[in-house]
Amino acid sequence: MTGTIVHDLVLVTGVSGGGKSIALHALEDAGYFCIDNLPPELLLDFLKVETHRGERRVAIGVDVRSKGSLPHLLPLIKQLRAQGQPVRSIFLDANTDALMRRFSETRRPHPLRAVSGEELERGAAANTRGLVDAIEIERELLAAIKVESTVIDTSLLRPAQLRAWVRDLVSVKGGSLTLVFESFAFKAGVPSDADFVFDVRVLPNPYYVHELRAQTGRDEPVAAYLRAQPEVQLMQSQIAAFLQQWLPNFIADHRSYLTVAIGCTGGQHRSVYLVETLAQLFAHHGQVLKRHRELDAR
């Protein structure tokens, strides 16, 4: 089997409760043919069949329900890439608190855990401990594939945000590094999918200017206020210089995505302004995405 097999192949994986179904629905809406929980052993045969269907885009969901087959997945990805098949792997992650909340809301069992009668008799504490253990075991099983994937932290994302972020990821052309700038609020937590995190809470805060409080870093009055602050300009130039210095190394390392997260207290003003500005500065790089975790959640 040689050469490109399908026009565009996306693998969607990640922790149970991370949002894989939402991501696959977003890809289906974007024109992908989607199949969920395909055992890795069947991947090559499935792709052979796809060669007769013309140039259509394919998305495949793989998760821990195929845990006996998971060790075969990473070697298969490397084999396909070596044979000329572009493969994009998206890994959906979330923190343990978010996952436990989602399992509680849906009342669905974790695929690695069946609640025993003894646990039910021991009550909620035992059930919680069993779920935490299952989540941690799953993280270990998926650790290797996570390293080889583009990670999206869905802990604080609404379904609409996740759908938009997935569509953005697959809209960029493969073969070169995509630079992702993301604003966030430290009070809501640091994104686990960030490669670099810059803390800009030391900068002057437009929140304390009454006329600017209700606006965001995308509004010109806020941008004008921040542009006039020497500390903001210094921080911006130093972040830009750091990225300019190291981007060639990440490109040489064949990285597909590099996520630069910029955080302030509320994720509304300073971090948003710097993400917007840095995205413009690096537009010449070719493939640049912007995310505003807190603003996008409105």
8 a known binding residue? no
Q: At what angle do helices 220-227 and 270-281 cross, to 10 degrees?
A: 80
Tokens in use for 97? 């608190």
Sign of the Cα torsion 127, 132, 136, 142 reads positive
20 is in an annotated binding site: yes
Q: Is 63 annotated as a binding residue?
A: yes
Please tell me whether 66 is known to bind a ligand.
yes
Measured CA to CA, the distance from residue 154 to residue 263 in angstroms comes to 17
Q: Is 17 annotated as a binding residue?
A: yes
For residues 126 and 119, give the distance between their C-alpha atoms in angstroms, rounded to a whole number. Answer: 6
Q: Is 53 annotated as contributing to ligand binding? A: no
Question: Is 21 annotated for ligand binding?
Answer: yes
Instruction: State how far the Cα of 46 lies from the Cα of 111, in Å rounded to an integer.
Output: 25
- H-helix or E-strand spanning residue 36: strand 33-36
Q: What is the rounded distance in angstroms from the CA atom of residue 111 to the CA atom of residue 118?
A: 19
User: Is 146 flagged in the annotation as binding?
Assistant: no
Q: Is 104 a known ligand-binding residue?
A: no
Q: Which of 276, 292, 273 is nearest to 224 (CA)?
A: 273
CA atoms within 13 A on the CB side of 157: 28
Ligand-binding site membership of 31 (annotated): no
Nearest CA-CA partner of 94 in 11, 152, 142: 152
CB 271 within 8 A of CB 184: yes
Structure-block tokens of residue 228: 């006039």
Q: Residues at the annotated binding site for ATP?
A: 14-21
Q: Residues at the annotated binding site for GTP?
A: 63-66
Q: Residues at the annotated binding site?
A: 14-21, 63-66
